Structure 1
Amino acid sequence: MTRLQTAVRWDMRLQFRNGFYYAAAFIAVLMTLVLWQLPHAELPTILPVFVLGNMMIGTFYFMAGLVLLEKGDGVLEGLIVTPLRQSEYLAAKLVSLTLLTIVENVGIVTAVYGFRYNFLLLALGVGLMACFNILFGFIAVARYDSINRFLLPSILMTLTLAVPLVDYLGFWTSPLLYLHPVQATLLLIKGAFQPIAPWQMAYGVLYAALWIGLLFKASQRIFYQFIILKKA
């Protein structure tokens, strides 16, 4: 078994032991109950918004919670003297949390809307959005040691991630919003329920992948700056 596989299994056990799976299940049930009350004809428009909002909790805040938990237990500092590389630590988080959020959100959508959606586009959009949020969450929380200090800044950060919704909901439209990283994955999730152009699909995949690559590199630098150097 490789170091990455071992790290993924350890992460999953950590998430289960600390109630992350129970929290995800509770949120999924709650969101399903809420969505069942909405007009079925409006669901193709509403579901992408709900999925995007739900993923803020299941990826950004779950990642932040895991990092703070590991900081409190001294796990992150201990990683410095283990063979596990920074890239493998981050990759394990990406795999474990992305799988969790895909299962959660596909489950919600299927329970509410049946199978009348494009599974591939939904899973792809959710998976790419999850990777972006997880890495963004790590970068955001790395300099903090407590949830109290992190909470207020995190709200402002997540609000910036929701900016593309002003275009999606018709409040304001501008080509500049295509520079926003979340616009790419929002289009893919939208495409699971509504037709989108081939160029939008290509843009969604490529632009999201570009941002994930940039954030992965940035996360490695942040790990070195705020964890390795701080410990040293």
Structure 2
Amino acid sequence: MKTLRLTSADIKIQYKYGFYLLYSFFTLFYVFILNIMPASWQKTTAVIMIYSDPAAMGLFFMGAIVLLEKSQMILNSLAVSPIKISQYINAKVLSLGLIGTIVGVIIALSAQSNNIITVIIAVFLSSVVFSLIGLIVAFKASSLNQFVIATVPFELILTAPPVITLFGYDNPWLILLPGVAAIKLLSGSYTNPFLLILIQLFWITVSYFICIKVVKKTFRQLGGCKV
């Protein structure tokens, strides 16, 4: 129940600071672009849009949220509260994953996608990966500039391989990357969707445990810690 309450609180904060307004603007813009472009381009363009914004924006928004919490000393209060670290992380991930998935589905429907279920799975799992990485980097960073610089390697690893895969480059080893697995799910270019889902779940597990360790260390420094 605490996780749900924290998720609800995070959603309210995101709404208050205009995250939902920004998501709405980008959604309308993307839908407009898809509707005016040739039908033959819509599928590929929609996949890029879905992966680059609803899924990947979790990284940047997560950084903004955590840095805001740092500046307002919210983390200091959370560190000595009964809230567990896992509940804090889960709430952050769920709140951004929910809105990202909704936006991704809207874009997919605009492109007349016929694999909405896999779109939902791919967007949510990708959002979780990006959000966890965003949390890790944000807790390590002391300023917005430091956060932006620190995310560059992750952006390259998570976006470059999926894009080149989408445009025809196919190295079997690249499928082990979470972004490539997500792109294949979004585009429908797969023979075994369960393998792609397992790959994403593996990276979520790895990222989650690293995130727990990083957040735990910060909370201990602030005066409290509950896993």
The answer for the alignment partner of 2:162 in structure 1 is: 164
Trace 1:194-205 onto structure 2 (pairs within 5 A). Answer: 196-197=190-191, 199=192, 201-205=193-197
The answer for the alignment partner of 2:222 in structure 1 is: 231
* Deviation sequence 1:74-132 (CA, Å, 0-9, x none): 1112111111100000100111111100111211222x324x42111110111111111
The answer for the alignment partner of 1:149 in structure 2 is: 146
In 2, the alpha carbon distance for the partners of 1:8 and 1:56 equals 18
- The 8 Å contact of residues 24 and 58 in structure 1, kept in 2 or not, is answered as no
* Deviation sequence 1:133-184 (CA, Å, 0-9, x none): 11011112211122122223323421221122212212x3312212212111
The answer for the alignment partner of 2:211 in structure 1 is: 219
Trace 1:63-82 onto structure 2 (pairs within 5 A). Answer: 63-82=62-81
Assess, with a 3 A threshold, how the Cα gap between structure 1 residues 169 and 189 changes in structure 2: closer, same or farther: same
Trace 1:25-174 onto structure 2 (pairs within 5 A). Answer: 25-55=24-54, 58-110=57-109, 112-114=110-112, 116-162=113-159, 163-170=161-168, 172-174=169-171
In 1, the alpha carbon distance for the partners of 2:179 and 2:216 equals 26
Q: Tell me, yes or no, if structure 1 residue 209 matches structure 2 residue 201.
A: yes
In 1, the alpha carbon distance for the partners of 2:71 and 2:129 equals 24
SS, match of residue 91 in structure 1: helix
Q: What amino acid is aligned across from residue 126 of structure 1 in structure 2?
A: V
In 2, the alpha carbon distance for the partners of 1:196 and 1:149 equals 38
Note the residue ranges of structure 2 that are not aligned, 5 or more in a row: none
In 1, the alpha carbon distance for the partners of 2:54 and 2:180 equals 14
1:35 Cα offset (Å): 2.3
In 1, the alpha carbon distance for the partners of 2:181 and 2:206 equals 15
1:205 Cα offset (Å): 0.9
Q: What amino acid is aligned across from residue 94 of structure 1 in structure 2?
A: V
- The 8 Å contact of residues 129 and 185 in structure 1, kept in 2 or not, is answered as yes
Aligned residue-pair number: 222
In 1, the alpha carbon distance for the partners of 2:32 and 2:3 equals 37
In 1, the alpha carbon distance for the partners of 2:5 and 2:198 equals 30
In 1, the alpha carbon distance for the partners of 2:107 and 2:176 equals 29
In 2, the alpha carbon distance for the partners of 1:29 and 1:196 equals 29
The answer for the alignment partner of 1:180 in structure 2 is: 177
In 2, the alpha carbon distance for the partners of 1:74 and 1:5 equals 22
Q: TM-score, normalised by structure 1?
A: 0.89
Aligned residues with identical type, % of pairs: 23
SS, match of residue 164 in structure 1: helix
In 2, the alpha carbon distance for the partners of 1:3 and 1:56 equals 25
